[in-house]
Copies of this chain bind each other. A is one copy, B any other.
Amino acid sequence: MFKRLCVIGTGLIGGSIARAAREQGLCEEIVAFGREKNLPNLQLAQELGVIDRFYTDIGLALHNADLVIVATPVGSMRSIFEAIKPYWHPEALYSDAGSTKGSVVEAVEAAFGHVPSNFVPAHPIAGAERSGVEAAQADLFRNRRLIITPLENTDAALVEKLSRFWQQIGSSVSLMSVEHHDTVLAATSHLPHILAFALVGLLGRKDEQREIFKYAAGGFKDFSRIASSDPTMWQDICLANKHEIIPLIQQFKAELSHIEQLLADDNTRQLFDTFTYARNARQRFLETFDD
């Protein structure tokens, strides 16, 4: 059990971590740090009982905290870690919830000149097209994966301690390298989000000229759901992991060009095979997902 959890960033993810930790009785108290401009959100988080109290002074927020989780958009990580640095405590466990791990490790390195052994990078894989602390829920991470990407010098005991924390709030914990994480998530999460944003953008412009959305079906509703995700969060993720994402966009365009050619050639057979392979692959995914 932790004495004091300090959550930095009380949106959907930070708020849900706080709610889950409280529900499972994992921390004696839960505080938050936020900047002045986020006062209304911090007040709401306190009113909703998500946190016990908040501070706009980071030194006060971190005082006596033995677990600190940074759950802000990944683009702000560097300034957050620079602000934390003067109050860094060698006995505390620091972690994050960023969707890209290479960029977070770089941010910590930029702030400290190295990555402290008591910083344990982590990423909860939980859907989040809703945003804000109002949407926070204690079971957001239940039956979801949590990936920890320890570095060579990361304290193994703290990796173990963080794993237990996430397991207690219902997650299934996997360990992998920073690089593997960023490669896998670029494919399964970042590229799909870009495709959804791109499609809904393209169709939105057509809809402005000539209404088309009213003739879209439930399939489009599901397909486009992730285009409702938070733009700031996703702008940060896409830029932070662009070295993985750009080659994937290129591969995807090649895939589309292939299908385009099959259509131009009336190649029924290969079109059938392509669609069948995809259908079977999704079935394999579903079997994994339902595990």
- Could you list which residues of chain A lie within 8 angstroms of chain B, going by C-beta atoms? 75, 125-127, 129, 144-145, 147, 174, 184-185, 187-189, 191-204, 206-207, 210-229, 231-232, 234-235, 238-239, 242, 245-246, 249-253, 255-257, 259-260, 263-264, 266, 268, 271-272, 274-286, 288-289, 291
Contacts and interface: CB of A to CB of B under 8 A. Distances in A.
Given A184-B212, A198-B255, A252-B198, A276 B223 contact: no
A194 B206 CA distance: 18
A204 B281 contact: yes
Given A187-B202, A187-B212, 20 more contacts: A125-B215, A127-B219, A187-B206, A188-B215, A189-B219, A195-B223, A197-B275, A197-B278, A198-B255, A200-B279, A200-B285, A202-B255, A203-B285, A204-B278, A213-B284, A227-B282, A229-B275, A234-B275, A249-B259, A253-B256
Q: Which of A201, A222, A264, A291 has the most CB of B within 10 A?
A: A201
Given A239-B268, A246-B260, A271-B239, A288 B188 contact: no
A242 B264 contact: yes
26 contacts: A184-B215, A185-B215, A187-B206, A187-B212, A189-B216, A192-B223, A193-B219, A195-B256, A197-B259, A198-B256, A198-B259, A201-B281, A202-B252, A203-B281, A204-B278, A214-B289, A216-B289, A219-B229, A223-B226, A224-B285, A231-B275, A235-B271, A238-B259, A242-B264, A245-B263, A249-B256
B235 A275 contact: yes
Contacts of A144: 217
B201 A187 contact: no
Ranked nearest first, the 6 interchain pairs of A and B with the lowest CB-CB distance are A204-B281, A231-B275, A188-B216, A127-B218, A201-B278, A213-B285
A204 to B, nearest CB: 3
B256 A129 contact: no
A80 to B, nearest CB: 17
Counting chain B CB atoms within 10 Å of each CB, the highest count among A194, A266, A286 belongs to: A194
B217 A126 contact: yes
A201 to B, nearest CB: 4
A74 to B, nearest CB: 12
Nearest to A290: B221
Contacts of A227: 278-279, 281-282
